[in-house]
Amino acid sequence: VNGSAREVQTVLGPVEDSALGFVLVHEHVAASSAGILRSWPAIYGGRTALTDRAVEILSRARAAGVQSIVDCTTFDLGRDVELLAEVSARSGVTIIAVTGLWLDPSVTLRARSVEQLAELFVYELTDGIDGTGIRAGAIKIATEAAVDPVGGRILHAAALACMATNAPIITHTAAQHRSGELQAALLEEHGVDPARVAIGRSDDSREIDYLTRLADRGYWLAMDRIPNGALPEYGGQSVADRIDMIARLVAAGHANRILIGHDDPAWAGLLGDEDQRRRRASNPRSLTFISDVVLPAFGSRGIGSDVITKITVDNPRRWLSAA
């Protein structure tokens, strides 16, 4: 590798990092539970309807400037890479799938050792997922307020897989408990380079020192559920607060550490029907919210187009490819 163009694995095969363009780093076509998409299509209106709906959402995002998304759906969130490949091909949006695990590993996964879990993650990054040959391009992990033994094994395995393949990590945190700091301590203990790691849910935090200290250590700050500020169950940070925090981070010199996303699935099966309706009502723009609302708001806060390009294009390219 000569240091200029680097390959990133997508659901339609490897691409040069320079082809990624505007990247949303934390999205989902569908987020539910392992096996649900295949075994119970009636619960989400059937596979054709879901695929069409996802294609429509991503096509609108594409028209609004979005070129790539990281689909952060792990095995335990019901990942289906053939669905992702079809949606990517039909919408024209590049999709990067993930390995790793979220907060709902099955009994079988909970019984595995660090080495076994790392073997699974590396297999999905290098050989492919579900026998398809479609390779993961990133590793997702999740930590709430504390790390239990299973969560510790998953995190350690993700660290080993990151170091073996140089794949990027994106995390779910409970930002009000500053769990990004806990993740950072454990990942560094296992030898991971902070520049490979995006600390997610960072826009849930109201504490700028939590964010600036992580940025100073070299971590990416994934401000990745911005429209959810409209709903009370996602904490006290409103949409305006989340945009303001990004502006404060830029003013503090951290524009080169910020990543962005919605985390707004086309089908959020892990939520009940009423919560899904409320969620759709609170963000009818779906994956054009950042293009339609957030980027114009940046402009009115004095954030120039050079910084917007950094946040939407340059930073995710550097995080995904290590270029």
What residues line the site for Zn ion (CB under 5 A)? 72, 263
Q: How many CB atoms lie within 10 A of CB 63?
A: 12
Nearer to Zn ion by C-beta: 124 or 263? Answer: 263
Around Cβ 202, how many Cβ atoms within 10 Å? 29
As measured in angstroms, the least distance from the Cβ of 263 to Zn ion is 4
Closest to Zn ion by CB, 160 vs 170, is 170
Beta bridge partners of 169: 139, 197
CB 308 within 8 A of CB 21: no
Task: Find the shortest distance in angstroms from Cβ 225 to Zn ion.
Answer: 8
DSSP character at residue 62: H
Neighbours of 196 (CB within 10 A): 22
- CA-to-CA distance for 177 and 181, rounded, in angstroms? 9
Write down the least CB distance from residue 80 to Zn ion, Å.
15
Residue with tokens 């479609």: 134
Min CB(305)–Zn ion separation in Å: 28
Q: For residues 34 and 164, which CB has a smaller minimum distance to Zn ion in the complex?
A: 34
Least separation in angstroms between residue 176's CB and Zn ion is 17
Closest approach, Cβ 68 to Zn ion, in A, equals 16
Could you give the CA distance from residue 301 to residue 27 in angstroms, rounded to a whole number?
A: 25
Q: Least distance from C-beta 27 to Zn ion, angstroms? A: 8
DSSP 36-54: HHHH-GGGGT-HHHHHHHH
| Burial classification of residue 90, based on how many CB atoms lie within 10 Å of its CB (0-12 exposed, 13-18 middle, 19 or more buried) | middle
* Nearest approach, Cβ of residue 15 and Zn ion (Å): 23
Closer residue to Zn ion (CB): 31 or 157: 31
| Residue from 30, 19, 76 nearest 55 by CA | 30
Report in angstroms the alpha-carbon separations of 146 from 109, 114, 171, 236: 19, 18, 14, 21
Q: Which is nearer to Zn ion, 134 or 170 (CB)?
A: 170
- Our CB check for Zn ion shows the closer of 72 and 139 to be 72
Nearer to Zn ion, 203 or 263 (CB): 263
* Residues 313 and 257: beta-carbon distance below 8 Å: no
Q: Which residue is nearest to Zn ion (CB)?
A: 263
Inter-residue contact 146 to 116 (CB < 8 Å):
no
Of 176 and 256, which CB lies nearer to Zn ion in the complex structure? 176
Strands (E), 83-213: 94-100, 138-142, 169-172, 197-199
